Amino acid sequence: MNILKTKKLFTYMVVGALVMALSISCKSNEDPNSGDTKKEDQKTQERTFSYYAGDWWSNIAGTETKFITINADGSMVIYDSGGGR
């Protein structure tokens, strides 16, 4: 009888530990400041073309030349190999 009680108590302790671990795991997705769940992860968000805005340079044969400029509105300017438009 004593072994049965010990076995039952051990089973309850294991189940309780699993429930607590699951609860902690679910709470790690919440924002500690607002209580809301996290927004989409940055890795999974789709990036727009304007995210890459700026001048892009190539380095062919040791010479750096600007080959494309991407503007914040998503438009771009492609330069020829001499650096002109």
Mean per-residue pLDDT, 37-44:
59
**Residue 33 counted as domain residue:** no
Indicate whether 2 pLDDT > 60. Answer: yes
Domain annotation covers residue 18 = no
Residue 28's alpha-carbon distances to 23, 25, 69, in angstroms, are 9, 5, 41
Distance of CA 19 to the CA centre of its chain: 28
Question: Phi and psi (nearest 5°) for 44?
Answer: -100, -5
Tally the domains of the chain: 1
> For residue 59, what are the domain limits?
51-84
pTM, 2 dp: 0.40
Answer whether residue 9 is part of any domain: no
Measured CA distances, 65 to 20, 53, 60, 80 (Å): 58, 17, 8, 9
Confidence band of 59 (pLDDT split at 50, 70, 90): confident
Rounded CA Rg of the chain: 29
Examine residue 1 and state whether it is found in any structural domain, yes or no: no
